[in-house]
Amino acid sequence: MAGHCRVKISGVPRVSAISQFRQRTFASFSIRNYRLYFGGQSISMSGNWMQIIGQDLLVLELTGSGTKLGIVSALQALPVLLFGSFAGVLVDRYSKRRILYVTQSLLGLLAILLGTLVATGLIEVWMLYVVAWCLGCVTCVDNPTRQSFVHEMVGRELLTNAVSLNSTIVNMARIIGPSIAGILVVAVGISACFFINGFSYLAVILMLARMNGNELQPAPLASRAKGQLLSGIRYVKTNPSLWLPLVMMAIIGTFAYEFRVVLPLFATYTFDGHAGAYAALTSAMGVGAVIGGGFTASRKIPTLPMLVLSAVLFGCSLLLAALAPTLALALAAMVVVGFFSINYTSLGNTNLQLASSPEMRGRVMSLWTVAFMGSTPIGGPIIGVIGEHLGARWSLIVGGLATLLAAGLGAIVLRWMKERKTQPGVRQELPGLGE
């Protein structure tokens, strides 16, 4: 009887701990507007990953060149690099919900256009270049708008949770989208990936329309004035909690987050696979990212030391994947890569949003978009050339070493901040917010 009692008693805290973990992980679902947003994004992001797989395979089918694959990725990211910081001014000036109506509609139309060109056999490489550029122009406004809009839906207290769940959407889609795309490419053709993605944006538009505007917490809109871009840059320069994550992301984004270039080469040339192997590697990374997103969502307060540690683990995971001798081991390694990848980006994103003032958040997050996505015009071709001439393993090795370099820089800055008696986390900006 005593043993039975011990089982019951010992079981109580275990159930309680699991229940508390679940409540912390999905806390943002208590907000209706966020549930709607999550549902729409889940559908749209799955379609987006179908298009990514289709577009990358289309480039290899038309050209067989890793360098040109890098050029397409670079062209899609170049507008972010050139105009992303200006886009942040627009995000701060206008209603984010209205901006999303426009950007999501344009992204859907571009996907349908690309599908039509492929289905009719008219597609040529230069057309892919043009569409990639147009997609980048819309993305440089859409991305910081979506990230800032999360704060307006859930507020400061649930921001860490919502950002992590939002990142999990992307990586759930990384599992679902490529899996469907791999089947469609073989059974129907590449054009189906683009058509499905185009119509998936209707889900986001519908969910935006169903939201209750009275429950949103919009940031004050910035009035039109001269020097708003420069004022945003000066604002970031004065705060190490802002510029350190941005500098680290610029390094890591340039050399490590080039998976659209590396994975097709890794699947096609290292393991002699094609659509199925590429989709499997992408999905494996998505599995790890979903697990990592759930772990990060259960945490309350991100700090810069946590971000630096996450970069170290992410860099090591990339080196591990580069050394995988078989496709099966590479798939297992990509699960680990996905886990630490989402952990790093979620921590960086949340640190920035919590450390920035509401009227500057759009400009700050536009700089994050520039560092994350705008670095591809530089890194994409470099990683593509390395992968094509030295092998995809070396592309991953370069990414891993660059990530460790960024982590080392972060550690040096944190030590400098400590010596200056500056709090390295976001607590300084958020007094009273507990673990």
Phi, psi dihedrals of residue 324, rounded to the nearest 5°: -60, 125
Most confident stretch, 288-297, 361-370, 391-400: 391-400
Better pLDDT: 431 or 323: 323
Rounded to 10 deg, the angle between the 275-297 and 159-187 helix axes is 170
Phi, psi dihedrals of residue 56, rounded to the nearest 5°: -65, -45
Most confident stretch, 119-128, 213-222, 355-364: 119-128
Range with the poorest average pLDDT among 84-98, 143-157, 291-305:
291-305
Range with the poorest average pLDDT among 27-41, 195-209, 376-390, 402-416:
376-390
Confidence tier at 388 by pLDDT (50, 70, 90): confident
Most confident stretch, 74-78, 325-329, 347-351: 325-329
Q: Which domains does the chain have, with CATH numbers?
A: 30-210+228-419 (1.20.1250.20)
Predicted pLDDT of residue 15: 53
Output the pTM of the full model.
0.71
Our CA dihedral for 43, 327, 403, 427, rounded to 10 degrees, sits at 50
CA distance 186 to 262: 22
Residue 433 has pLDDT above 70, yes or no: no
Predicted pLDDT of residue 13: 54
What is the distance, to the nearest Å, from the Cα of residue 350 to the centroid of all Cα atoms in its chain? 12
Predicted pLDDT of residue 427: 43
Mean pLDDT over the full length of the chain: 82
Confidence tier at 243 by pLDDT (50, 70, 90): very high
Better pLDDT: 226 or 61: 61
- Mean pLDDT value of segment 122-129: 90
- At 8-21, the pLDDT tens digits run 444 445 556 666 66
Give the contacts of 54 (CB within 8 A, at least 6 positions apart). Answer: 181, 185, 190, 191, 192, 193, 194
Confidence tier at 228 by pLDDT (50, 70, 90): confident
Better pLDDT: 281 or 24: 281
